[in-house]
Amino acid sequence: MATNQELIDKLIEKLELLFKKQAEFSSEINSLKEELYRLKSGSTEDETIPIKASTEPDPLPKTENEKLEAFNENVEEPVVETLEPVLETEYQDEFVAPKATSVEENKPKRKSSLEKFIGENILNKIGIIITIIGVAIGAKYSIENDLISPLTRIILGYFTAIGLLGFGIKLKKKYEAYSAVLVSGSIVILYFITFFAYSFYDLIPQLPTFVLMVIFTTFTVVAAISYNRQVIAHIGLVGAYAVPFLLSNNSGQVEVLFSYVAIINIGILVISFKKYWKSLYYSAFIFTWLIYSTWFIFEYFEEEQIGIALSFLSLFFVIFYITFLAYKVLRKEMLKTSDVVLLLFNSFLFYGLGFAILENHDTGSQLLGLFTLGNAVIHFIVSVLFYKLKLGDKNLFYLASAMVLVFITITIPVQLDGNWVTLLWVSEAALLFWLGRTKAIKVYEKLSYPLMILAFLSLLQDWSFAYSAYYGINEDEQITTIFNIHFLTSLLFVIAFGFIVWLSRKEDYTSTLKPTSIWSRLLTYGIPALFLFSAYYAFRLEIEFYWDQLYHTSSISTPSEDVYKRSIFNYDLRDFKTIWVLNYSLLFMALLAMVNFKLIKNKLLEKIALGLTVASIFIFLTQGLLAISELRESYLNPSEYFQENSFYLWIRYVSFLFLAFALYTCYKFIKREGISKGFKIGYDILLHVTIIWVLSSELIHWMDMAESTQSYKLGLSILWGVYSFLLIAFGIWKDKVYLRIGGMIFFGITLIKLFFYDIVHLNTISKTIVFVSLGVLLLIISFLYNKYKNQITDDSNN
C-alpha cells in the first residue's frame, strides 16, 4: 500500500503541473484571439471574445478521488478544439488575405531587374560606343573631303576627348557608373587620336607620342583605382600593350620593347593585387606571353639574340610566378583548379620556349639537361620556403613539390637514355603513389598515374631495341640470358609495379579518386593489367631471345653454284623456342591462378587467370604439339650440318608436365564450393579434348618411331572409337548427359573419318578391323543404354 500511495502522490503532482500549463495555454490562446479580432475589425480598443474554456484552472480538489474525477473531466474537454476552428475558418480567410492585400497596395511599384540592368548598365555602354563610332565616321568624312586640315582634326579630337573626360568626371559623385563609362570612352579616343597624329600625319614625334601614351596609361590606372572599375583598367592595359606596336618604326630594338612590357607588367600586377582584380592578372599574362611568342616565332635570330631571349623569358616567368604566389600567400587563397592550370602554363611556357631557344644553339644544346634541372631547382626552392615558413595553403607546397618531380622526370630522358629513363620513371611513380596514398596527398597520387604510363611506354621502347630480331646476330653483340641490364630493368619495373598494386589493395589507405568515376575504375584494372603484362613478358622475352641468339649463331655458310655463299640455319631451334615459350606460358598462367586462389582471392582476376590458362592449353595443343612433331621428324631425318640428340624426343614429356599442371589448376578451381555447373561442364570438355588430342599425338609419335606410318590412320580410328565408347560409358556411370552426348558426337566424327578418309587409304584387313571394332563398340554402347535406361536421367540436377 505504501508503494501505491507514493505512486498516486507522484501522479497527482504531475496532474497539478499539467493543470497549471493548461491555464497558461488558455490565457495565451485568449490573448491571441483578442488580437486577431481587433485586427480583423480594425478597432484599436481592446475587445474580448467569448471563450469556451476558462482562463483559470479549476480549483484543485483536496481528496484523491476528487482529484481523479477532476482529471477525467479535463481530459474529456480539450482546449485545443476551441483554437482550430477559429484559426482555420473564422480568421484565416478574413485576416491573412486582407493583410497581404493591404501590404501589396501600399508597396510602391518597382522596375524589374532586367529593366534596371538594361537602363543603368547596357544603354550607357551602347551609347558611348555609338558616340565613338559617330566621331570616327565624321572624322573620316571630313578627311576624305578635306573639310578640315589634319592639325584641326587632331585638335578637335583632343577637345572632344577632353570634354567627354571632364563631363564624365563631373558626374562621378552622383552617377559613378555612368561617369566611368564616359571616362573609359574618352581614354580610348585619346589613345587613337595620338596614334593618328603620330602615324598618319607625322604631327608628333615618336618620343613625345610615347610619353603621352604612357601618361594616358598612368591616368587610366589612377582612374581605375579611383572608380574601382576593372573595365577602365582593362582599357589602360590594352592601350599600354598596344603602344609599342602602334609607335614601332621597325628599329629591331626588342630589348626596349620587352623592358617596357616588363615595367607595364609590374605596374599592372601591383594594381591587380591591390584591388584584387584577378582578371587583370590573367589579361597581362595572356598579352605578355602572346607578344613574346610572336616575336620568337617570326623575328628571333639564334646567334644574335639568345641572351636577350633568355633574359626576358626568365624575367616574365619570375614576375608572374611571384605574383601568383603572392596572391595565394598574402590573400590566403585556397588553391583552385584554375590556379593549377595557370601555374602549369607559366612553367611550361617558360620551359618550352627556353628549351627551343637552347636546342637550336650549338652551346645551348649541350645544356638542355641542366636547364631542365634548373626548372626543378626553382620549384624546389619555392617548396622549401613554403614548408619552412608554413606559408599559404598546404596544397601550394604539394603543387610546388609536384613541379619539382615533374621537371626531374623530364630531366631524365633529356640527359639520359635507355634503361635509366625507365628505371627512374618507374621509381618516381612508385614513390609518388606511396606518398599520395599513405599521406593522402592528392596531387602526388594523380601525378603518379601519368608517370606509370610514361615508364611503361619507355619499357616497351627498351624491349623493342634490346630484343630486336637483328640484335645479337654478331658475337660481340650477344648478351647473357637473365644476367643483363635489360632483364634487370624489366625485373625492377615489375617489382615497382607490384609494390603499387599491393599498396592500392590495402584497405588502410583510400584513393584520392572518386570510386564511382571512370578514371578510378580504369586505373583499378589498368595498373594490375600492366603489372601482369610486364611480369609475363619480362621472362618470355628472355626465353625468346636466348633461342634467337642460338638460331642466328648456328648459321653455316655452304658453297653454291653462284658466287654467293648460302647460309643454312638450324631451324629446329625455332621449334624449341616455340615449345619453351608455350611451356612458360602454361606455367605462368597456372601459377597466377594458384596464387590468386591461395592469396589474392580476387573474383575478376580468378576468371581472367582461368581464361588465360585455358587459352594457353589450346595454343599448346595446336602449336606446341605441331612443333614437337617437327622435332621428331628432325630426329628421324637428321641433317648433315647439325647434330640431333634424344632430347628432341623427350621434350614432349617435359611439356606434358606443364600441361598437366595447368589442367590441375583448372581442376582445383572447379572443386571449390559455390562453382556453377557451367564451369564444371567446361572443365570436363577441356579435359577430355586435351586427353584425346595428346593420345592421338602419342599414337602418331610411336607409330612414326616404329616406322609404321601407314597404320596410324587405322590406329586413330580405333583410338577415337574406344575413347568415344569410354566417354559414353562414363557418362552413363556418372549420369552426365553432356559426356554421353559428347561421346556420341565424337563417335560420329570417327565414323565420318572412317567412311570418307580411311576407307580410301586402308587395305582390306585394316578396313575389316576398323569396321568390326567400331561396330562392336556401337553394340556395347547400345547394350549399356538398354541396361541402364532406368538409371539414366537428363542430368538436370548434376
487-541 pLDDT, tens digit per residue, is 989 999 999 999 999 998 888 888 877 777 888 888 888 999 999 999 999 999 9
From 197, 226, 249, the end of a domain falls on 249
Helices (H) and strands (E) in the chain, counts: 29, 2
Helix (H, G, I), strand (E, B) or coil at 567: strand
- Better pLDDT: 154 or 269: 154
pLDDT of res. 367: 84
Distance CA 486, CA 480 (A): 10
Degrees, nearest 5: CA angle 246-252-258: 70
Whether the Cβ atoms of residue 375 and residue 351 lie closer than 8 Å to each other: yes
Distance CA 125, CA 117 (A): 12
Which three cell numbers mark 307? 641572351
pLDDT of res. 102: 42
From 104, 135, 158, the end of a domain falls on 104
131 domain-assigned: yes
Burial class from Cβ neighbours inside 10 Å (0-12, 13-18, 19+) for residue 742 reads buried
Check whether 98 has a pLDDT greater than 60. Answer: no
Q: Can you tell me which residue has the cell 631471345? A: 545
Which contacts of 674-678 are long-range, i.e. CB under 8 A and separated by 24 or more positions?
677/798
Check whether 269 has a pLDDT greater than 90. Answer: no
113 domain-assigned: no
244 and 262 assigned to the same domain:
no
For residues 571-582, give the mean pLDDT: 94
Helix (H, G, I), strand (E, B) or coil at 289: helix
Q: Which residues pair with 557 in a beta bridge?
A: 567
pLDDT of res. 43: 45
165 and 95 assigned to the same domain:
no
Which three cell numbers mark 529? 593489367
- Better pLDDT: 534 or 134: 534
Which three cell numbers mark 125? 555602354
Distance CA 633, CA 290 (A): 73
Q: Which residues pair with 568 in a beta bridge?
A: 556
pLDDT digits (tens, 9 = 90+) for 706-737: 877 656 667 787 888 888 888 888 888 887 88
547 domain-assigned: no
Distance spanning both ends of the chain, measured CA to CA:
74
Q: Which residues form the domain of 227?
A: 118-249
Q: Can you tell me which residue has the cell 632483364? A: 487
From 224, 249, 274, the end of a domain falls on 249
Which stretch of DSSP H or E encloses residue 238?
helix 230-246
Distance CA 224, CA 204 (A): 27
Distance CA 256, CA 210 (A): 12
Indicate the residue type of 553. Answer: T
488 domain-assigned: yes
Q: How many domains does the chain have?
A: 6
551 domain-assigned: no
pLDDT of res. 619: 95
Cα dihedral: 437, 439, 444, 448 (round 10): -30
For residues 654-664, give the mean pLDDT: 95
pLDDT of res. 477: 64
Instruction: Return the number of other C-beta atoms located less than 10 Å from residue 480's C-beta.
Output: 9
pLDDT digits (tens, 9 = 90+) for 12-63: 878 887 877 787 778 788 878 777 777 766 544 444 444 444 444 444 444 4
- Better pLDDT: 174 or 590: 590
Helix (H, G, I), strand (E, B) or coil at 585: helix
Longest CA pairwise span in the chain (Å): 142
pLDDT of res. 686: 93
Instruction: Return the number of other C-beta atoms located less than 10 Å from residue 286's C-beta.
Output: 12
| Range in 199-208, 240-249, 271-280 with the lowest mean pLDDT | 240-249
459 and 347 assigned to the same domain:
no
125 and 230 assigned to the same domain:
yes
| Range in 1-10, 348-357, 384-393 with the lowest mean pLDDT | 1-10
Distance CA 709, CA 721 (A): 20
80 and 189 assigned to the same domain:
no
pLDDT of res. 136: 64
586 and 476 assigned to the same domain:
no
Does the pTM surpass 0.75? The reply is no
| Rg of the chain taking only CA atoms, in angstroms | 47
549 domain-assigned: no
Closest to 587 measured CA to CA, from 567, 565, 609, 556: 609
pLDDT digits (tens, 9 = 90+) for 638-650: 887 888 888 899 9
pLDDT bracket for residue 657 (50, 70, 90): very high
Distance CA 144, CA 133 (A): 16
Instruction: Return the number of other C-beta atoms located less than 10 Å from residue 98's C-beta.
Output: 13
- DSSP label at 57? P
454 and 532 assigned to the same domain:
yes
pLDDT digits (tens, 9 = 90+) for 223-261: 777 777 776 776 666 666 666 665 555 656 677 778 777
pLDDT of res. 126: 65
Q: pLDDT > 90: what percent of the chain?
A: 16
- DSSP label at 558? E
Closest to 429 measured CA to CA, from 415, 408, 413, 447: 447
Whether the Cβ atoms of residue 567 and residue 642 lie closer than 8 Å to each other: no
DSSP 463-478: HHHHT-TTTT-SGGG-
683 and 718 assigned to the same domain:
no
554 domain-assigned: no
Q: Which residues contact 140 (CB under 8 A, 6 or more apart)?
A: none
428 and 474 assigned to the same domain:
yes
Indicate the residue type of 608. Answer: I
522 and 648 assigned to the same domain:
no
Sign of the dihedral defined by the CA atoms of residues 34, 40, 45, 50, in that order: negative
- Better pLDDT: 522 or 270: 522
Distance CA 132, CA 190 (A): 11
188 domain-assigned: yes
For residues 440-444, give the mean pLDDT: 80
> What's the chain's average pLDDT?
77
pLDDT of res. 623: 94
- DSSP label at 482? S
Helix (H, G, I), strand (E, B) or coil at 215: helix
Whether the Cβ atoms of residue 309 and residue 357 lie closer than 8 Å to each other: yes
242 and 277 assigned to the same domain:
no
Most confident region among 136-140, 149-153, 344-348, 689-693 by mean pLDDT: 689-693
Which phi and psi (to 5°) does residue 263 adopt? -65, -45
pLDDT of res. 417: 66
566-568 and 556-558: which strand pairing? antiparallel
pLDDT of res. 101: 42
- Better pLDDT: 17 or 786: 17
pLDDT digits (tens, 9 = 90+) for 451-464: 899 899 989 988 98
Distance CA 465, CA 467 (A): 6
Q: Which residues contact 264 (CB under 8 A, 6 or more apart)?
A: 217, 237, 240, 241, 284
Whether the Cβ atoms of residue 187 and residue 216 lie closer than 8 Å to each other: yes
242 and 274 assigned to the same domain:
no
